[in-house]
A and B are shown apart, each in its own frame.
Chain A
Amino acid sequence: DTEVTQTPKHLVMGMTNKKSLKCEQHMGHRAMYWYKQKAKKPPELMFVYSYEKLSINESVPSRFSPECPNSSLLNLHLHALQPEDSALYLCASSQDGTSGMNTGELFFGEGSRLTVL
């Protein structure tokens, strides 16, 4: 069983809706990530938070807005999405932040499957 919990597991939204994806980990990890994954493709990095600060934004459109309220929680706020944004959104965490020697493996949640109509 994964120790990274993502909710909801499934989400269907219209292009004018506002919704949020949530992620929680209690492993004491200081780096948290959002990835987007299309079917049978590798995960694509979107955002990295290190010690609760945004450290990497992979030029993600502003209709995706990340938030890290504390070291255990990570949100992804969604607004005015397009049908091509439909995908599996994966949250991950790793032991150390990006400042320093982050050699740790990623722990992934089960993902939130998003469908944009």
Chain B
Amino acid sequence: AQSVAQPEDQVNVAEGNPLTVKCTYSVSGNPYLFWYVQYPNRGLQFLLKYITGDNLVKGSYGFEAEFNKSQTSFHLKKPSALVSDSALYFCAVRGNTNAGKSTFGDGTTLTVKP
């Protein structure tokens, strides 16, 4: 079975400060890892993914994520937060033996205050 944990329900940061949203995973085989963002009353939007290669992945809107195999983590980061980054963030994993089924974390609400 595959699983994702997002240990923080809520993350609060001040505008201009760096942000980190944490994600750890469990999966058989090599993981395919994703971050999605959901704004109020909208669908989910893809931010970035790790499939293979460099452990630091860059994505949309200045976000990046670092894959750490030994810690089974895939934390989302941004050097300087914007108020408009406030949203619900989901980490997801898909194992390479379970094609078609992504497992989502419970989500982390990011609030960036001016």
Tell me the A residues contacting B by CB distance below 8 Å: 2, 4, 6, 31, 40-43, 45, 48, 50, 55-56, 90, 92, 97-103, 105-111, 113
Q: Chain A binding site: helix, strand, loop or mixed by DSSP?
A: loop
Partner of A48, one of B45, B100, B109: B100
Partner of A42, one of B45, B49, B104: B104
Closest to B46 in A: A105
Partner of B44, one of A6, A99, A102, A108: A108
Is the pair B43, A98 in contact by a Cβ cutoff of 8 Å?
no
Interface size class of B (residues with CB under 8 A): 20 to 34
**Which residues on B sit within 8 Å (CB–CB) of A97?**
100
Is the pair A101, B107 in contact by a Cβ cutoff of 8 Å?
no
Say yes or no: is B101 at the interface (Cβ < 8 Å to chain A). Answer: yes
* Assembled-state Cα–Cα distance A42/B100 (Å): 17
Instruction: Known contacts A48-B100, A98-B99; decide if A40 and B109 are in contact (CB<8 Å).
Output: yes
Which one of B20-28, B63-71, B75-83, B88-96 is at the A interface? B88-96
* Assembled-state Cα–Cα distance A2/B45 (Å): 8
**A40 CB, min distance to chain B CBs, angstroms:** 7
Is the pair B99, A100 in contact by a Cβ cutoff of 8 Å?
yes
Is the pair A2, B43 in contact by a Cβ cutoff of 8 Å?
yes
